Structure 1
């Protein structure tokens, strides 16, 4: 079972087909075992729990075996990502969800898979958002808020031209823009854009494009460049992720 979905700036899956080697990326990632507990290795420490969120830029590895799990990569600059970082992770490498709420998520997932089977993940995702919902958030510097909006609306094939365009629009040098972004978000601008491009590739593949066309149309030099970056960032090959998968849209 390998069902992939995109929800806003986040991408996730309900799957028993994950074998992710040791890796790290600048996104947050939540894992929920659909039944019983999962086992994950974070910075060399083996952890057993029902549900966990891994912080950005933290080394981890994970395998589902034959057991179905829910996982979602979360944009750390989104409201959900910022809430998780500020109120739950608080600079720690991971956060383990409370037992009672994790069991609630497990029941919802199990019901969806075994009973509902509607391919609509809205209720599952809504409950993940609800768990971490917190209204008290300080906005980024207004220039960064504007920049994030630009990144989601300005579509260039190349990262360099995208940065140049945004820096020019904001009357900043490219180096000052990069410094300000890292200062406000804690994330290197180039690393953030790589993940932005990766999400773009999967969105295009969801829409029926080939891996090569999607990679070239999202700022990668070639499909091989995309494959290398994807493996480095996710611990998995793109073809293994895509193979035998169903691609779904999710919203709520």
Structure 2
């Protein structure tokens, strides 16, 4: 992946916002819903079957894609599948891999300033949801048993826990909890745990830990394992992203 210098990555629980120029990524897919915006310049998204040039697009989770930004600035918003906000965008997308949207350039500028001012990043999503007239109160909520599973995973060290233990916590069979989890969250429990370990590792790197220390503490075999996982999910080389501080300034937000 190639990124222009002086980009910024804002990270909070379940959400990240990248602001900068992504020259090109490799083909990848990830658990997150992705919203990519540009106020003035078109960017290109290559899917398996089609290539789209646009200024605003929502990309469904687990959808193979490659982003080519070239010139100009992009805002890339990644929303974890377990959040209610992501379910609002899932309702808009349905089974479609992507949807082009019309976003006022003034709103895009507001989104950028909100992030830079370190405001609650969820406000950014609420502004987009309102702009797109998504009836958020009508979006299907997450099953309470899955909420409990997500809470357990959030609080377990290294995000390593067996499906058997999780199933016992909600009085369901292993097969039933795996089926329900995949329907609700869009991925297997095993892959979600890997996703959460990756998110934990990124948080550790942005808080000042070196790659090796962050990888071990997040539950990876080593930093190379964490970097490979990151590349598979984001199409980005983790070392390239964070090793050169001129490329990306990572900022962990409180909310």
Shift of 1:22: 0.9
Cα deviation, residue 67, structure 1: 2.1
**Number of the residue aligned with 1:157:** 158
Q: Decide which of 104, 107, 131 is 2:106's aligned counterpart.
A: 104
Which TM-score applies when normalising by structure 1?
0.85
- 2:33, 2:86 within 8 Å by CA — same for their partners in 1? yes
**How far is 1:140 from its partner?**
2.7
Work out whether residues 158 and 220 of structure 1, in 8 Å CA contact, stay in contact via their aligned partners in 2.
no
Q: Which shows bigger deviation, 41-50 or 231-240?
A: 41-50
Superposition CA RMSD, Å:
2.4
- Tell me if the contact between 2:56 and 2:101 (Cα under 8 Å) persists in the aligned partners: yes
**Structure 1: tracts of 5 or more residues without a match:** none
Q: Cα deviations across residues 5-64 of structure 1 (Å, max 9, x unaligned)?
A: 113211221121452111112211111114232222123422122211100111110122
Q: Give the direction of change, closer, same or farther, for the CA distance of 1:167–1:184 in structure 2 (3 Å limit).
A: same
2:133 aligns to what? none
Secondary structure of the structure 1 residue equivalent to 2:157: coil
Unaligned runs of 5+ in 2: 1-5, 131-135
Corresponding position of 1:180? 180
Out of 11, 15, 21, the position equivalent to 1:10 is 15
Contact 2:24 2:67 in 1 (8 A): yes
Equivalent residue number for residue 129 of structure 1: 126
Helix, strand or coil at the partner of 2:31: coil
Q: Which residue of 1 aligns with 2:57?
A: 52
Out of 138, 141, 144, the residue aligned to residue 143 of structure 2 is: 141
CA-CA distance at 1:175 after TM superposition: 4.1
Aligned partner of residue 59 in structure 1, secondary structure: coil
State the shift of 1:251 in Å. Answer: 5.5
1:93, distance to aligned residue in structure 2 (A): 0.6
* Length-normalised TM-score, structure 2: 0.84
Alignment length (residue pairs) = 242
Superposition misfits of 4+ residues, deviation over 6 angstroms: none
